Amino acid sequence: MHERKDPYPSRTSGKAQTIPRQDQVVYSRWSAGAPLSEDETRAFDRDGFILLRDLFDAGEIEALCRDAKRMLTASNGTLDPDTVIAEPDSGAVRSVFKVHEQSAVFARLAADARLAGVARFLLNDDVYIHQSRMNYKPGFQGREFYWHSDFETWHVEDGMPRMRALSMTVLLTANTPYNGPLMLMPGSHKSYIVCVGETPDDHYKMSLKKQEYGVPDDELLTQLAEDGGIAAPIGPAGTVIAFDCNTMHGSASNITPFPRSNAFIVYNALSNRLEAPFGPARPRPEFIAARTSVRPVVPVSGPLIQSAA
């Protein structure tokens, strides 16, 4: 059989190492009509993430929060049970996946020009939704998301060929210094951290609760953090963090009483559709990684919800 060349091998050997990024970060050239300023575009390229403040108004944020709560407290049968992930010890709801197919408001959010338009610009292609989810990080019980590059998982386990994808996180509670905010390592997206170990069968059943494979080595993490520092952007509900698929990120447990709930929409370039996984033979299910339900997003302008007036 023809051996497929893998530009980003990981979990194939006993050696943790760094491979330089082989792909662009910003695929478009900035011009005056772009949906980001020149400074924002440059910052995304340099840091691997940017903050977008005040994109949504109070009514829009409230509508998103209401539907996030509906999904959190949904009675049996309302949501696809596979998409609901429990916390490792308490059993509280940690994540709900595929929210853009289980909520009209989140479907509208994912198509919104304020997010999808920016994704199309940065990736310079039609985009589709690779993954969407709510991470609830409940008070007291919300556990950490250990340091990782999303791309490492998406490449090895899902067969995403190249780095041409990004996440948009919409904060739906305030993220404070205390409640386990998203932390990112600026500049880390320029290095691909090769992880050691193999991928167990049905790895997602464990990894979505607590990741133990595909975990970067301490020394390489230390190097990245020494080189670029660690950012923990905070802000009120409605703040958006856009970050590259290879930016090293994670978040700590939430021992405060206050939940830290964030929505994530992952956009992938249409030209970067999933292939066979580079690691395990069997791909992960559709609700974590869209393989067949691939539809270009047509950005929708205007408010998320029709106002009552």
Could you give the residue ranges of the DSSP H alpha helices within the chain?
Answer: 38-47, 58-72, 104-111, 118-123, 150-158, 204-207, 218-228
Part in contact with ligand 6CS (CB under 6 A); list of ranges 15-23, 148-156, 172-180, 254-262: 148-156
148 binds ligand 6CS (CB under 6 A): yes
224 contact choice in Fe ion, ligand 6CS, none (CB below 5 to 8 Å, kind-dependent): none
The distance of closest approach from Cβ of residue 249 to Fe ion in the complex, given in angstroms and rounded to an integer, is 6
The distance of closest approach from Cβ of residue 268 to ligand 6CS in the complex, given in angstroms and rounded to an integer, is 12
Contact positions with Fe ion (CB under 5 A) in 85-114: none
The distance of closest approach from Cβ of residue 274 to ligand 6CS in the complex, given in angstroms and rounded to an integer, is 12
169 binds ligand 6CS (CB under 6 A): no
Lookup result for tokens 């011009």: 31
Member of 23, 60, 87, 150 binding Fe ion (CB under 5 A): 150
CA distances from 15 to 22, 88, 168, 193, 213 (A): 20, 29, 32, 11, 14
Part in contact with ligand 6CS (CB under 6 A); list of ranges 60-68, 142-150, 173-181, 184-192: 142-150
How far is the C-alpha of 134 from the C-alpha of 97, rounded, in Å? 6
Interface characters, 283-302, with ligand 6CS (x: CB under 6 A): -----x--------------
3-state helix, strand, coil in the chain (%, to 5): 25, 20, 55
145 binds ligand 6CS (CB under 6 A): yes
247 contact choice in ligand 6CS, Fe ion, none (CB below 5 to 8 Å, kind-dependent): none
Does residue 36 contact residue 44 with C-beta atoms inside 8 Å? yes
How far is the C-alpha of 91 from the C-alpha of 103, rounded, in Å? 23
Helix (H, G, I), strand (E, B) or coil at 96: strand
In terms of CB distance, is 59 or 283 closer to ligand 6CS? 283
Q: What are phi and psi of 213, to 5 degrees?
A: -115, 155
The distance of closest approach from Cβ of residue 292 to Fe ion in the complex, given in angstroms and rounded to an integer, is 23
288 contact choice in ligand 6CS, Fe ion, none (CB below 5 to 8 Å, kind-dependent): ligand 6CS
Member of 207, 239, 247, 261 binding ligand 6CS (CB under 6 A): 207
Determine the length of the chain.
309
